[in-house]
Structures are given as C-alpha cells and as structure tokens.
C-alpha cells in the first residue's frame, strides 16, 4: 500500500538561502541539520513528493514564503565528513552516518510572506508547531489541513493588504 503524502515546514534564514534562491536553482540539498529530532524527521519520515512550506526565519517578517517538494529522500549529509566545511562533525562516521540531508525542489513562491503573527491568528492553525511558544525546530511536521490553509493564505497575499 502506498504511503500517504506528508507535509513539512522547513526553516531557513534568507541570508543563507531564500525562496528566490530556490526558484532560481530549481532544486537544492537541505543539509546542515544538527538537531537529533529534526534529523530523525529527515532520515525516517521524508519521502519524495512530500509537500514543504518554505519558512523564512530570522527575517522581517518571519513567515512562510512559498512551497517546495521533497525530490530526493534522506541520504548521508556528506558535509559532516568534510573537515573544511562548517557542518563537519568529527564524530560522524561514513559507515554509520549521524546526519542526513534531503533534496527539495521549487514549487511556488507566494506574492508575499505569510507572517508568523498571521499564522497565529488563522483559524485551523491553532495546533501548528511553528506557532507554539518555544518551538524552534528547523524541520516540523505539518498536517495536510494546515498545509492547505497556509497555501491559501500565501496565494491571497497579493489580493489583501498585510496587517501591520
């Protein structure tokens, strides 16, 4: 029986990599995850075709900037083995990797960012992990209904003025 499509929120600082970068590149690796819970999501739960909310973090405003899709399931994060790379981990072993990465591809850029404050106020998103106080994981599961609500909000950003 085929596995049901899952949905994720992935955070990235726009100075490091933005939705515009992904749109330009078409696809990218998502490496450098160094939190065990986020790693477990990548390694165990991400599958090709899963939907991704691309979240711009530590920006003004922070929020969802667009949509991506998982294009390659988890494989060892090769940067963990490169002594010259910022993501090098001397404890990670190529024979038994600690860290993993996935590839994502561009799907859609929203006309404007859906800010965190708007996510907090939107009906149906009350349980979404990203709005919970103290929830700082860079990779978070998202319910299908939440994904659809955020997608609708994102597509409406050009039609309605943002709250100040």
159: confidence class by pLDDT, cuts 50, 70, 90: low
Q: How far apart are CA 135 and CA 78, in angstroms?
A: 27
pTM of the model as a whole: 0.93
Contact between residue 21 and residue 28 where contact means Cβ atoms under 8 Å apart: yes
Q: What is the pLDDT of residues 116-154, one digit of tens each?
A: 999 999 999 999 999 998 888 999 999 999 999 999 999
Domains of the chain: 7-154 (3.10.590.10)
pLDDT at 161 over 60: no
Q: What is the pLDDT of residues 60-92, one digit of tens each?
A: 999 999 999 999 999 999 999 999 999 999 999
pLDDT at 40 over 80: yes
């Amino acid at each position: 029986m085929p596995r049901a499509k899952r949905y994720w929120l992935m955070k990235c600082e726009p100075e490091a990599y933005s939705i515009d970068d992904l749109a330009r590149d078409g696809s990218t690796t998502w490496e450098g995850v160094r939190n065990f819970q986020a790693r477990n999501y990548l390694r165990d739960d991400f599958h090709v075709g899963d939907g991704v909310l691309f979240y711009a973090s530590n920006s003004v405003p922070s929020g969802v900037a667009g949509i991506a899709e998982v294009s390659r399931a988890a494989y060892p994060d090769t940067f963990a083995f490169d002594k010259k790379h910022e993501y090098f981990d001397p404890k990670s072993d190529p024979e038994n990797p600690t860290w993993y990465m996935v590839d994502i591809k561009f799907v859609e850029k929203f006309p404007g960012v859906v800010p965190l404050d708007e996510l907090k106020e939107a009906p149906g998103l009350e349980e979404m992990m990203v709005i919970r106080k103290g929830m700082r994981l860079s990779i978070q599961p998202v319910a299908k209904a939440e994904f659809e609500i955020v997608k609708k909000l994102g597509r409406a950003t050009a039609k309605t003025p943002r709250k100040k």
